[in-house]
Structure 1
Amino acid sequence: MKAAGVALIGVAVVAAVVGGITALSGDGANEAGPSGTSSTSPGTSGGTSAPPATSSTATPPSTSANPTSPTPPSPTTPPPGQPTQGQPGQPGGDQQASNKWVTVRVFNNSTIKGLADRAAEDFRGSGWNVNEVSNYSQGVIPTTTAFYRPGTDEEAAAKQLAQEFGIKAEPRFPGIESASPGVIVIVTKEYQSGHKGS
């Protein structure tokens, strides 16, 4: 009887040791990878390990997919500024067209009859919004210049027009500071008619 009892106790101890080893190895298996042992392992550690591993595994692919999507929009947004390298003609054309709505008034400051009319026709031929042609006789302007009010749309328009036609662009001087809004182009005898446009 005693021997049988000792044997039973020995079997119980062995079973307890085997059970402990199984429990420990079960936890290790859950940590190593999300297998079906999550229900066998006691609750929190197994359950917690498995879902985060699955979530993190699932998250990287979606993250990769997301950056791929934002990449196409990025090139679309910068074109007005940087992607000019890829398509210089288009962005520049859009910007130039946007400046041409600004009103332009052309004044002759020379003894050449019809010079302001010729300049106005050149500007119109290039798409500029010329709405007045006249003479400027309140002083001598040294060279054909597009005058603008700093900090307004006139500034970008005047600089663009000046670049197109090879003339100067400057802020308005005291004699014309209070004139109506718009770019004021005062042409002088050196103006080359037909520099751009016909």
Structure 2
Amino acid sequence: MSLFSGLSRPLKAAGLALIGVAVIAAVIGGVSALTGGESNNTAASSPAPPPSTPSDAVPPTSGPASPPSSSGPPSSPTPPSSASPSSGAPTSGQPGQPGQGQPQPGQPGGDQQASNKWVTLRVYNNSLIKGLAERAAEDFRKAGWTVSDVSNYPDGVIPETTAYFRPGTDEEAAARQLAREFGMRAEPRFPGIERSAAGVIVIVTNNYHSPGKS
């Protein structure tokens, strides 16, 4: 005997409908359970993404610091302007100034002339004029020269009055100065007197004249 025996036809239809609805609901619930389980399994089985490392990060791009722009090369310091000499400073060569009266090149100055006179003179007579060497020596002393010896020179004839010196010594400058002052010659010593004592050797002859006398 079936479940729906004894029921009227309308009730049978309603029961069948309820059974169908229940079956459908059961099917839907089973499908939903299966789908949810698969979703959970998928979520559980899929690996988590690896944490980002510093290498993954893109570093900020930054170029080298550009030097400050300059409109041109650095300006060099301006040298201090040289101060012009004051109007009160002495100027060489002006009248009344220290530069006036200086000797020209090639001309002996007053100080140089005085310094040469410390060199001693030795005066010798080579003439027949008696006392000529003494007279010449007195003229030299009056002019500021120092005469250390007065005598005769009998060892030959000297052509004219001459002041003899040893080259390369102070005698040379002194002999040349004496020659300019008294109008005589100045020459290096010759072999007969080259070993004589130090000093300018002045050999006077007949042509010697005292200053101011003819």
TM-score where L is the length of structure 2: 0.55
CA distance, structure 2, for counterparts of residue 104 and residue 163 of structure 1? 15
Gaps of 5+ in 2: 1-67, 94-98
- Correspondent of 2:155 among 116, 119, 138: 138
Gaps of 5+ in 1: 1-22, 32-44, 77-82
The structure whose Rg is larger is: 2
CA distance, structure 2, for counterparts of residue 94 and residue 189 of structure 1? 32
One-letter amino acid of the counterpart of residue 109, structure 1:
N
CA distance, structure 1, for counterparts of residue 138 and residue 120 of structure 2? 14
Is 2:128 the counterpart of 1:111? yes
Q: C-alpha root-mean-square deviation of aligned residues, in Å?
A: 3.4
* Distance of aligned partners of 1:195 and 1:154 in 2 relative to their CA distance in 1, 3 Å threshold: farther
What whole-Å deviation, never above 9, does each CA across 1:100-142 have from its counterpart, x for those lacking one? 1001100000111110011001111111111111111111101
CA distance, structure 2, for counterparts of residue 195 and residue 126 of structure 1? 13
Secondary structure (helix, strand or coil) at the match of 1:60 reads coil
In structure 2, the residue matched to 1:172 is 189
The percentage of aligned residue pairs carrying the same residue is 66
TM-score where L is the length of structure 1: 0.59
In structure 2, the residue matched to 1:187 is 204
* Distance of aligned partners of 1:139 and 1:91 in 2 relative to their CA distance in 1, 3 Å threshold: closer
In structure 1, the residue matched to 2:102 is 87
CA distance, structure 1, for counterparts of residue 194 and residue 203 of structure 2? 14
Offset at 1:194? Answer: 2.8
* Distance of aligned partners of 1:115 and 1:154 in 2 relative to their CA distance in 1, 3 Å threshold: same
Offset at 1:88? Answer: 3.3
CA distance, structure 2, for counterparts of residue 155 and residue 141 of structure 1? 19
CA distance, structure 1, for counterparts of residue 161 and residue 108 of structure 2? 28
The structure with the largest helix share of the pair is 1
CA distance, structure 2, for counterparts of residue 193 and residue 86 of structure 1? 29
Count of paired positions: 137
